[in-house]
Amino acid sequence: MRKTGKEDIMKTTRRDFLIKTTMAGAAIGFPTIIPSSVLGQNGEVPPSERVGIGLIGCGSRSNYAGQYQRYDKSQIVAVCDPRTDMRKKWREKAGNCPDYSDFRDLLENKDIDAVHIVTPDHWHIPIALAAARAGKDMYTEKPLGISINHDIKSREIVDRHKRVFQYGAQQRSMQHVRMGIELVLNGHIGDVKELYVWCPQGISGGSATPVLPVPDGFDYNMWLGPAPEAPFCKDRVYTAKGYNEKGIYHIYDYAIGFLGGWGAHPMDMLQWWSDNAGMKTIPVNYEGKGTIPTEGLFNTITRWDITCTYKNGLTLRFMDLTTTEELKLHEGISGPHGTLFVGTRGWVMVQRGGWKASSLELLRRGKDPGSKRLIVSRDQIENFVDCVISRETPVDDLYSAVRSDIICHLADIAIRRKRPITWDTKKETIVGDAAAEKMMFRELRKPWTL
């Protein structure tokens, strides 16, 4: 066997070293101790040995990706966006790294170990699948896909390609959310009898006119990608009124509106509980009502009230914020969005901004809830980078994301069909309604495929 020289050691990346050392330590059966000399002087990680991140999408939401630059184990080494001005801003932030208009070119960059996908929703799964096939791990912003078929197809990422996937619903990395759900898991509110999820309502309006020339430096065809051909206009691409969100969040060709885009956050918290409560499943019946705009460019559901029933009879009420305020259903429903667990002996509500419970005594128990505990993550991006190194499953795993995302899609379909729908959890399909079943799929514009 050839001896390993100094030159070979220098070629070994920090990530490769950590992965190999962790595996070796586990096989031998003792904790792995990594000398500080390997990590760099004073524990600092040399830039050449950090996890290389490719940023795909350089809009406003990409600012969150700045966390990679502050975390010593990672760095952004390439950026991609079909808009020249947007990617140039990020290129400068990342030290004049390579920039690309086409994500496929970025995926060929050998310095990239993982990608952070911050695109419009209709691009999430096509790019995530391409990244997995290129051998890259990925952090994908919420919501997961724009159809149930997208969600189901995405499992290929971990099933076939064994990639690390982190879902961008950051509440799982918030201590108070974890503590609240652990209270429920450990039986402090008794048996769970009712569930509530709510989020901001969507917006209507927008205009497809006037049709504008595509600006210089904007690859509009790439921006549309698998979505249908459509004329360029301000409200389609730039800023909409109301929440100051982009119009693409409220156009059905690219998203299912705030029902899925905002609903992904509280629904993800619900699914975190469900997965760890022995219910790695979703409701089977969906019934309710909602409002679909009939005028303007924005055509996703703006208001909704859906009752989702699990096979065991447990009910989930999924609503927009205005509906919850009008109905005043429960004292625990407060704030712009949240997840409420109502049990036989009390209730717990968790949301991004904090948590509440039916008693102060219940809140105090959060520090020591019992034996059932959840993964501890202090930051979603840090957890992702650590898992890229260790090959462990991140706090917000793909399978859980698929389940919570499908709930939102089934609610959307039930409203659009104006009738109850039934979900077969084993076959993963809508049953008894052929028209609703067709809505599980979205046709992709050629030449794009999943």
CATH number at residue 37: 3.40.50.720
Q: Is residue 245 part of a domain?
A: no
Q: Is residue 32 part of a domain?
A: yes
Tell whether 432 and 323 lie within a shared domain: yes
What is the secondary structure of 24-63 as a DSSP string?
HHHHHTS-----HHHH-GGGPPPGGGSEEEEEE--SGGGG
pLDDT at 61: 85
Tell whether 199 and 85 lie within a shared domain: no
Q: Is residue 450 part of a domain?
A: no
Q: Is residue 229 part of a domain?
A: no
Note the pLDDT tens digit of each residue in 382-391.
Answer: 999 999 999 9
Give Cβ neighbours of residue 406 (< 8 Å, ≥ 6 apart). Answer: 148, 151, 282, 423
Q: Is residue 384 part of a domain?
A: no
Tell whether 165 and 288 lie within a shared domain: no
Tell whether 138 and 199 lie within a shared domain: no
Q: Which domain holds residue 74?
A: 6-171
Note the pLDDT tens digit of each residue in 105-130.
Answer: 999 999 999 999 999 999 999 999 99
Q: Which residues pair with 166 in a beta bridge?
A: 139
Strands 346-351 and 354-357: antiparallel
CB atoms within 10 A of CB 158: 16
Tell whether 183 and 146 lie within a shared domain: no
User: How far from 383 is each of 74, 109, 111, 167, 359, CA to CA, in Å?
Assistant: 12, 24, 21, 11, 32
Tell whether 108 and 194 lie within a shared domain: no
Domain boundary among 154, 171, 188: 171
* The pair of three-digit structure tokens given for residue 3, joined into one six-digit string: 């001896």
Residue 277: φ, ψ to 5°: -100, 15
pLDDT at 170: 95
Tokens 């514009």 appear where? 445
Tell whether 346 and 287 lie within a shared domain: yes
Q: Is residue 233 part of a domain?
A: no
Global pTM value = 0.89
Domain boundary among 129, 153, 171: 171
Q: Is residue 70 part of a domain?
A: yes
Tell whether 331 and 428 lie within a shared domain: yes
What is the secondary structure of 133-195 as a DSSP string?
HTT-EEEEESS--SSHHHHHHTTHHHHTT---EEEE-GGGG-HHHHHHHHHHHTTTT-SEEEE
Note the pLDDT tens digit of each residue in 56-105.
Answer: 999 888 999 999 999 999 999 999 999 999 999 999 999 999 999 999 99
Tell whether 79 and 159 lie within a shared domain: yes
Tell whether 179 and 166 lie within a shared domain: no
Q: What share of the chain is helix, strand, coil (3-state, %, to 5)?
A: 40, 20, 40
* The pair of three-digit structure tokens given for residue 302, joined into one six-digit string: 């703006």
pLDDT at 40: 45
Q: Is residue 232 part of a domain?
A: no
Cis bond before residue 46 (omega within 30° of 0): no
Cα distance between residue 277 and residue 274, in whole Å: 5
The number of domains in the chain is 2
- CA 379, 282, 317: angle at the middle one, nearest 5? 85
Tell whether 195 and 306 lie within a shared domain: yes
Cα distance between residue 140 and residue 2, in whole Å: 42
pLDDT at 234: 87
* The pair of three-digit structure tokens given for residue 347, joined into one six-digit string: 């209730």
pLDDT at 39: 43
Provide the strand spans (E) within 72-149.
Answer: 74-80, 99-100, 114-117, 137-141
Tell whether 181 and 136 lie within a shared domain: no
pLDDT at 43: 57
Domain boundary among 113, 148, 171: 171
Amino acid at 89: K
Contact between 285 and 227 under an 8 Å Cβ cutoff? The reply is: no
Q: Extract the residue ranges of the chain whose pLDDT is less than 50.
A: 1-14, 17-42, 239-244
Provide the residue count of the chain.
Answer: 450
**CATH code for the domain in which residue 274 is found:** 3.30.360.10
* The pair of three-digit structure tokens given for residue 435, joined into one six-digit string: 């028209």
